[in-house]
Structure 1
C-alpha cells in the first residue's frame, strides 16, 4: 500500500525549475515525504534500480532518454512494472495518446500544471495502485501465469479481465498475445482484430497483427497493419526501422525511404541511426540512398574518413564517375598511403580515357609498394 502523505516520489525533468515547481505543488498538497530528482530517463532508471520509489512523475520529451523510453524499461521490469506513473507533456495529439496507451501510463498531464490538476492525478493513481480494478488484477495475474509458463492460466485470466471491463481493448489484445504464444494463430488474429476495432488507437494491436500476418506469410496484410501502427505512433523509432526494412525486403523501396526519413527525424541520435540504415541499404543494393545518408554524416562529422571512402566506393559502383572521383580524392588526401584508393582512382581515370591521370596514380602506388601486381598490370594496360 502506498501512503500518499509519506510516499517516495521521483520527479524527472530536464528543466530544473520545472522539477522544483512540481515538488512545491506536492508540498502544498502535503503529498509525499521524500523527493528525488533526475534530469533524464537514464538518470531516473539508475535511481529506480537502486532506491525504493512509490510513484514517478516524469516529463515526456527529454534528452538522452525520453519519458516513454523510461516507461518501456519500467513496464518490462518485474520489480518496477506496477509502479504508478504520471507523464507530463506540453501537447496533446493522437500520437501522444497512442504512446500513452502503449507505454501503459497511468495518467498524463498537460502543461502548464496547477496544484489542483496535479493533486487530482496523484490521488487518483495512488488510489488505483492501492485498490486496482478487477481488470488490472486479472491482467497482472495473467502475466504471472505467462512468466511461469502457464499459458492456459494466462488465457483464462485474460478472459476474466475482458469480462470485468467490456470497454477496454487491452484484455482482448492480451488474449491475442497469449494465443499467439500458444501457437493458435486463428484465435490470436481474432482477438487482435477485436482490440483494434474497439480502439482505433491501439497501436500495439495493429503492430502485433502485422507481425502475425508476417508469420503467416500474408505480406499484403502485414504491411497494411504495420503501416497503420506507424501512422498512429510514428515516434516509435525501432518499430519504424523494422517496418522500413520489411518494405525494402518486399521491394517497396520508395515507401521504405519515406519511413526511414520519418524515423530519422524523430530519433535523439540521428547520425548513428543514419549509419545503421545506410549499412542495411548497402546490403540491399539501395546505394544512392545509402550514399545520401553517409554524406549527411560526413557534413556533420568531417573526421569520419572511413565514410568518405565508403561514399566514394558507392559512387564507383554506381558508375557516377564525377562523384566517385570527388570522394575518393578526398579520401586519398586524408589517407595518402592507401594504395587501394589510388588504384580505384586509376581505374576510373582509365574508364574515362584519362590515361595520364591513371598512370600518375599507378606510379604513386608503385612508389609506395613496388611489388604491387595489380598496379603493374594496370600500368601495362595503360601504356
Structure 2
C-alpha cells in the first residue's frame, strides 16, 4: 500500500479511528494518509491532528486539487525531512525500551525545527512515561506555546497536574483539550472524573452527554460510558443512555442492571425492580444485583422478597455486610 485516502464519515468507524489503528501498526504507520471531510470545523481538524494525519481536504474540491495533494504527499513520503526521520527513529527506540535514546532523538528533532510543536509534544510524552513530571510539563508547555491547538499537550498537562494533586490546573487543561477536540472518549472520562471529585456533577454530566453523542455508533463504548455514569451516581444520564442502548441491542444484560439500579435510585421502584429481576435472570450470578433488588423491595416494604434476595446474596458472599443488614431488617 503506497497511499490511503479515507473519508471522515464512514458507517462503522470514522476516518480518524481508522488512522489511529493504522498508526499503531508497524508495517502500515508510515503510509501517507489523506483524509476527506465535508466538515471544515476545528473539532474535526483537531481530532485528525491528534492522530498525525498527513493532510486533509474539505469537500467539494476539483480533481486537479486532489491530484496535486496526492503528488505532494507521495513526494514527502519518498523524501522525508530530518524531523520526520528523527521522530521515526525515536519511535523505534521507544519500542525497543530505549527511552533515553528515544528522548535524545526527539531533542535533536526539536533543535532542528524549534518552531514545530510535535517534537516537544513527543518529548513531554516520553518524559511522562519516565515519570519525570516537571520536565514533561515543561515540554508540553513549550508545545502549546508553539501551537495553541496542540490538544494532546493540554491533555498531557492535565494528567501531570492531576498526579501532582493540582486539581484546578488539571481541570483547566482538560477543559482546554475538550474545547479544542471534544471527540475523545478517554479524555471525556478523565475530565468527568475530575469534575465529580470537585462535586461538579452538572458539568460532568454535560461532558458525558457529549461523549455519548460522539460515540453514538459504538455500542461497546456507550456501554462503558453508561457503566461510568452508573458507578458515579449520574442516575438520569444512566437511565437515558441505558434505554437507548437496550433499544438498539436488548441483549446487553449488564446494561439492564445499570438501568434497574438507576431507576431505583431515582425512586422509580416498580419499573426498577422489574428491570432488576430481568437483569438477575439474564446475567451471571451477581450479588450486587441481588443486593440492589433486596434494597428496592425493602424500600417498597415488601420484606418477603427483600429477604429472599438478601439471603441469596449472603449465600454467595457470606461476609457482605450490606446484604446482612438488609436481611436483619426484614426479620
For Structure 1 versus Structure 2, the TM-score category normalised by the shorter chain is 0.7 to 0.9
Q: Is residue 88 of structure 1 aligned with residue 88 of structure 2?
A: no
The list of structure 1 runs, each at least 4 consecutive aligned residues, that deviate by more than 4 angstroms after superposition, is: 298-310, 329-336, 340-349
Q: Is residue 297 of structure 1 aligned with residue 245 of structure 2?
A: yes
Q: Corresponding residue for 2:52?
A: 104
1:189-214 C-alpha deviation (Å, 9 max, x unpaired): 11100101111111111111111212
SS in 2 for 1:108: strand
SS in 1 for 2:126: helix
Find the aligned partners of 1:300 and 1:258 in 2 and give their Cα distance: 23
Match of 2:108 among 160, 163, 172: 160
Structure 1 length-normalised TM: 0.69
**1:309–1:327 Cα contact (<8 Å) kept:** no
Q: Structure 1 regions of 5+ residues with no counterpart?
A: 1-52, 351-357, 366-376
Deviation at 1:116, TM superposition (A): 1.1
Deviation at 1:123, TM superposition (A): 0.8
Structure 2 length-normalised TM: 0.79
Q: Corresponding residue for 2:185?
A: 237
Q: Structure 2 regions of 5+ residues with no counterpart?
A: 282-289, 309-326
Matches within 5 A, 1:246-285: 246-269=194-217, 271-285=219-233
1:247-270 C-alpha deviation (Å, 9 max, x unpaired): 334432221110000011111436
Which structure would you say has the larger Rg? Answer: 1
Find the aligned partners of 1:309 and 1:191 in 2 and give their Cα distance: 45
Find the aligned partners of 1:283 and 1:71 in 2 and give their Cα distance: 32
**1:313–1:324 Cα contact (<8 Å) kept:** no
The number of aligned residues is 302
* 1:179–1:108 Cα change, 3 Å: same
SS in 1 for 2:30: coil
* 1:146–1:304 Cα change, 3 Å: closer
Find the aligned partners of 2:278 and 2:78 in 1 and give their Cα distance: 68
**1:309–1:328 Cα contact (<8 Å) kept:** no
Find the aligned partners of 2:188 and 2:257 in 1 and give their Cα distance: 29
**2:46–2:180 Cα contact (<8 Å) kept:** yes
